Amino acid sequence: MKSTASAPGKVILFGEHFVVHGTKAILCSIDKRVTVSSEIISDKKIIVKSDLGQISVNSSEPISKIKSSFKPFIFIAKKMMEEFNHNAGISIEINSEIPSGVGLGSSSACCVAAAGSISALFSKLSKEKIVQLSIDAEKTVFERASGADTTISAHGGIIEYDMGEFHPIKSKISFSLVIANSTIIHSTNKVVTKVNEFRKKNNVEFSELCNQESKLIQKAQESIMNNDIVSLGKCMNENQMYLEKIGVSNEKLQTMIAIAERSSFGAKITGAGGGGCIIALVNDSNINETLQNLKREKYECFTTKIGVEGLNTF
C-alpha cells in the first residue's frame, strides 16, 4: 500500500520570532510544495530518501538514538506504527520544490506532508491531529518551534496564528509578494536561540518590543480589512525595524530590503532571518519594477501565488 501527500511552503508576513514568545503572527502559504510518498514494506526498517540523501534504520531503534536530520520523519513513522500495532516497516520518499534553510517553511512542509502521507497508510486522521503530529515531529530537531509554520502548511490560505489557535483571514487586498533569496542558509534553531539570549539580556526592551509587535499586528489586520495596501506596506517596514533590533538581520538582507523598498509598498525579512529570504509587498503597479531592481543587482528573486491550498492527501 502506498500513500502520497503534498503541503505548501509559507511566508511570515508579520510576527516571526515574537510568535515564539507568545505574540500573534500573520502567515500565508505559497505556491511551492513538498510531496511525500510512503509505503508499507515487509522489512522491519524505516527508510527515508530525499535529494539530501538516504537513511535506513531498524523500526525498533529508539528515537533518542537517531542523530540524522531525517529524525522528524522517523519519529512520525514510529509513532504511527506504535499506535496501529504495525510491526514491519515503512519507506518514505520526499520531493521538495521549496529551497531549504531560507525561511520558506521547507522543514515544516516536509513534516506536514510526511504526517499526512504516513498516517494515511493506517487511518484517516483529522487535520488537527496531523498538525499536532507534525509539531511533535519538528520539535525532535527544533524544540522551541511555535507551531505557526506547520499550521499554515497544513491549512493553507492566509491566517492569523495565536498560540496554537488560528483564524483564516479573508484578504480584501489584491496583493502579491516578491521573494528574494540572500542564498545565506540559516539554522532556524540557532537564530531562535540567539534571540532567546537577546531576550534574557534585554528583558525589558524585549517585552516592550513584543507589545509593539502585538499592536503592529493589530494594525496590519486592520489594513488588510480596510483594503489599505500602503498602510500594510508601512507595517512591514516597521516590523523589519523590530527584527533588526533583536539582531536577526544582516548587511546583505538590509541591502536587499533597501532595493525592494524603492519601488514596493514595504519589505522585510521573512522567517528566522540571519540569512534566508526577504519579501516585498507589491501589486500590479510595481511588481515588475521591484523584480527588475532586485534582478539587476543579481539577487535570486521570484513571485509566487499566495494563500494556496494546504495539506492535500491523495
Nearer to ligand MEV, 271 or 307 (CB): 271
Is 149 annotated in the active site?
yes
Of residues 163-192, those binding ligand MEV (CB under 6 A): 188, 192
Minimum CB distance to ligand MEV, residue 19 (Å):
5
Nearer to ligand MEV, 50 or 153 (CB): 153
What cell was used for 150?
506547520
Give which of 192, 100, 187, 102 is closest to 146, Cα–Cα.
Answer: 192
CB 36 within 8 A of CB 90: no
13 binds ligand MEV (CB under 6 A): no
Minimum CB distance to ligand MEV, residue 227 (Å):
27
Q: Specify the long-range contacts of residues 217-223, CB closer than 8 Å, at least 24 apart.
A: 217/14, 217/15, 217/23, 217/24, 217/25, 217/26, 217/160, 220/13, 220/14, 220/26, 221/26, 221/160, 221/169, 223/173
Which region, judged by CB under 6 A, interacts with ligand MEV, from 13-21, 235-243, 277-285, 294-302?
A: 13-21
Using CB under 6 A as the criterion, what x/- string covers residues 94-133 for binding ligand MEV? ---------x------------------------------
* Distance of alpha carbon 131 from alpha carbon 123, whole angstroms: 15
Residue nearest ligand MEV (C-beta atom):
146
Minimum CB distance to ligand MEV, residue 285 (Å):
29
Which region, judged by CB under 6 A, interacts with ligand MEV, from 11-19, 123-131, 279-287, 292-300?
A: 11-19
Among 20, 109, 111, 277, binds ligand MEV (CB under 6 A): 20
Q: How far apart are the first and last CA of the chain?
A: 12
* Distance of alpha carbon 125 from alpha carbon 307, whole angstroms: 23
Among 5, 9, 13, 17, binds ligand MEV (CB under 6 A): 17
Strand 25-41, strand 89-96: pairing:
antiparallel
- Cα separation values, 222 from 60, 163, 178, Å: 52, 20, 22
Active-site hit among 31, 43, 136, 149: 149
Among 156, 266, 271, 275, binds ligand MEV (CB under 6 A): 271
Give which of 43, 280, 290, 60 is closest to 177, Cα–Cα.
Answer: 280
Nearer to ligand MEV, 109 or 121 (CB): 109
Among 19, 81, 111, 217, binds ligand MEV (CB under 6 A): 19
**Cα atoms in the Cβ-side hemisphere of radius 13 Å centred on 14:** 31
Nearer to ligand MEV, 37 or 106 (CB): 106
* Distance of alpha carbon 57 from alpha carbon 232, whole angstroms: 48
Of residues 51-80, those binding ligand MEV (CB under 6 A): none
Of residues 208-267, those binding ligand MEV (CB under 6 A): none
Give which of 138, 149, 207, 191 is closest to 8, Cα–Cα.
Answer: 149
Of residues 132-161, those binding ligand MEV (CB under 6 A): 145-146, 148-149
Contacts of 200 (CB under 8 A, 6+ apart): none
Signed CA dihedral, 48, 37, 96, 80: sign only? negative
Nearer to ligand MEV, 125 or 192 (CB): 192
What number of chain residues touch ligand MEV (CB under 6 A)?
14
Question: Catalytic amino acids?
Answer: 149
Q: Using CB under 6 A as the criterion, which residues of the chain lie in contact with ligand MEV when the complex forms? A: 12, 16-17, 19-20, 103, 145-146, 148-149, 188, 192, 271-272
